[in-house]
Structure 1
Amino acid sequence: MPSPRRPAAKTTKSAIPQISWRAPQPAPVVLVSGPEEVCAERATAGLRDYLRAEDPSLEVTDVRADDYAPGTLLAVSSPSLFGEPRLVRVSGVEKCSDAFLAEAIAYLDAPQDGATIVLRHTGSSVRGKKLLDAIRAGTGGGVEIACPAVKRDSDRFDFAAGEFQAAKRRIAPPALRSLVSAFADDLTELAAACQQLISDVDGDITEQIVTRYYGGRVETTAFAVADTAIAGRYGDALIALRHALASGADPVPMVAAIASKLRTMARVAGSREPASALAARIGMKDWQVDRARRDLSGWTESSLGIAIQAAARADAEVKGASRDPVFAVERLVTVVATRAPYGS
């Protein structure tokens, strides 16, 4: 059940409180915005659990804004004979009908007592903008739970770390990095993996435990291939790459993972700033700076430049510039692992 302590509001242009999806609290109107479905589903489930803990007689109704029957919103939010609290979950606000839009805007002027209206808008369109603007202006006494896309490695790392922090469990940093790398392409799977470890494992979660649970996934992940190549382990890198490709991995994320790590190394190379100061200046995490500095061992400015150029070439080739994307990624792994031009 979510903590009863109200999270601090974030600084925002919106006039309404911004609430974390990890600690949702009810309000007459709750706008759940943004494309990340995992976070949105957690927020909505958290609101339901919060309200049900307060009153087990909670009535829950689901409404589709894109397939809306006029009068529904007011009907399902109005007090019942016995006065049970109501939770109305509205999906598809980004493609809502004209009837829903008009009634939802009107509802903001007179929210029903005892009702919590949750409006889910993915941000995939500007449809419903007038409604969102009214909510964010403070009409209806609403709050907003933002669920922005989790795309960057640092965002996925923060997400997974938050899963364990919320459960009051400890996971070793190397274990967390391995777990995030294993599920770098699917936040839903990453969330499920975190919850499985939290549920199954007693005590601290180590890298050995992550390997035991997800070793096959970890070994064939794009970032595992990148790490092995960057460490200069040519034979191991080719074996890992071929194992990954045989398991159905796409060359595009393989190249993207290598290119991402090389760019990070280039940003860190030559700086003697403390990790915390450098991380703050270039928008990274301390551990990412430390990892990039370790990765730079044995690299020179020349070899790093050759590898970055090879990554740019491979990126174009796996996206259509070559008829053989597998050869393109194998050549890139060769250049990176040997730290020399291909064929030299």
Structure 2
Amino acid sequence: MAARRPSAPRSAIPQQSWRTPTPAPIVLVSGPEEVCAERATARLREYLRAEDPSLEISDIDASDYAAGTLLAVSAPSLFGEPRLVRIRSVEKCSDAFLAEALSYLQAPQEGATVVLRHTGASVRGKKLLEAIRAGQGGGAEVACPAIKRDSDRYDFAAGEFREAQRRIVPGALRALVGAFADDLTELAAACQQLISDVEGDITEPIVERYYGGRVETSAFTVADTAIAGRYGDALLTLRQALASGADPVPMVAAFAMKLRTMARVAGSRGESSAAVASRLGMKDWQVDRARRDLAGGWTQDSLGLAIQATARADADVKGGSRDAVFALERLVTVISTRAPYGA
């Protein structure tokens, strides 16, 4: 008989949902699902800021840690404002960080909430995680396990609408989840777009109009491919989307949303994703995605050209032109080639 694997040690600290976390002296945000982790951290910030608008926020990269930083940013200020310290990359932490974090658990600073993000991508920092889970520092854990199964994605999307107190019919929810089966980030963005744009119940025709009713192709797929500079593939996915009944209006809206985010993030070089997200009122994962898009050869001039082309296409597909399909193909050409149409 094969030997039984030992079970994981039971955590001695409270386990919180990433949708409704509450502050504690130490909050461990664990697991690989970045969308959920970013939501949890953002909601902790919102909770603390609602309690005291003078909240001081500091960000630390555990992989590139300067000795003494944790104690310095968590220590009480002259006026005693509450502090939120967000620490990323704990799975890649330096020896200096590990030693100081373990020491900090023995005497957490009063009025400070320290959020540690560990993706689980490595065993680095295991001793620290074990200490937190054993109850040192008075912590809580927010688990963010990978969302891979269709049922998990369905539950995730249903939670988005439930949290916003919006009703989406089951068939529409299934269609929406199917359209973004491979990317939880885009599924989250699509849920929020429908919540923001649509009044009343969200039905299957609405999801069909926005996302083409096609699992393989969506407005975001077309936008992503064009923004990546893959001209031929972008035209192909556009034609597939249109052939499956996609509406040109939300197609252009997908381009506009992504380009607008890229433009907002473009001038923030040197800042951490968390800092940019906090300043711009965005989510960390949105900043990271925009930065990945910008790294694909975009300049200030080409981004401006793309935004102008999108504004023109938006007017054309809303009645300004007799040929909405040509307007979309022209938009895809300008964005994919980073050059004026016909250049």
Give the TM-score band, short-chain normalised. Answer: 0.5 to 0.7
The offset of 1:136, in angstroms, is: 0.3
Q: Which residue of 2 aligns with 1:221?
A: 216
Corresponding letter in the other structure for 2:112: A
Give the % identical residues.
77
Question: Which residue matches 2:36?
Answer: 39
Indicate yes or no: 2:127 matched with 1:130.
yes
Q: Compute the displacement of 1:138 (Å).
A: 0.4
Specify the SS of the correspondent of 2:167. coil
Q: Secondary structure at the match of 1:89?
A: strand
Q: Does 1:247 align with 2:244?
A: no
For residues 104-141 of structure 1, the C-alpha deviation after alignment (integer angstroms, 9 at most, x for no partner) is: 01100100000000000000000000000000000000
Are the structure 2 counterparts of residues 145 and 220 from structure 1 closer, same or farther at C-alpha, using a change threshold of 3 Å? closer
Counterpart Cα distance in 1 of 2:118 and 2:214: 37
Counterpart for residue 157 of structure 1:
154
Q: Match of 1:203, as an amino acid?
A: G
Does 1:86 pair with 2:86? Answer: no
Amino acid at match of 1:132: L
Offset at 1:13? Answer: 1.8
Unaligned runs of 5+ in 2: 1-8, 218-232, 239-343
Residue equivalent to 1:189:
186
1:110 aligns with 107
The unaligned stretches of length 5 or more in structure 1 are: 1-11, 223-242, 249-344
Alpha-carbon distance in 2 for matches of 1:166, 1:193: 15
Show the counterpart of 2:14.
17
Equivalences for residues 1-344 of structure 1 within 5 A: 13-215=10-212, 218-221=213-216, 246-247=236-237
Q: Deviations over 1:47-93 (max 9, x none)?
A: 00000000000000000000000000000000000000000000000
Task: Give the superposition deviation at 1:221.
Answer: 1.9
2:178 and 2:215 in contact (8 A); partners too: no
- Asked whether the equivalents of residues 16 and 144 of structure 1 are also in contact (C-alpha less than 8 Å), the reply is yes
Question: Paired residues, what number?
Answer: 217
Structure 2 CA distance for aligned equivalents of residues 56 and 245 of structure 1? 48
For 1:157, give the aligned amino acid: Y
Rate the CA distance shift 1:131–1:50 in 2: closer, same or farther, 3 A.
same
> Which digits, 9 at most, give the CA deviation of each residue in 1:163-204, with x for residues without a partner?
011111110000000000000010000000000111111111
Higher-Rg structure is: 1
Cα separation, 2, equivalents of 1:51 and 1:206: 36
For normalisation by structure 1, the TM-score amounts to 0.61
Give the counterpart letter for 2:28 in structure 1: L
Report the Cα offset of residue 247 of structure 1.
2.4
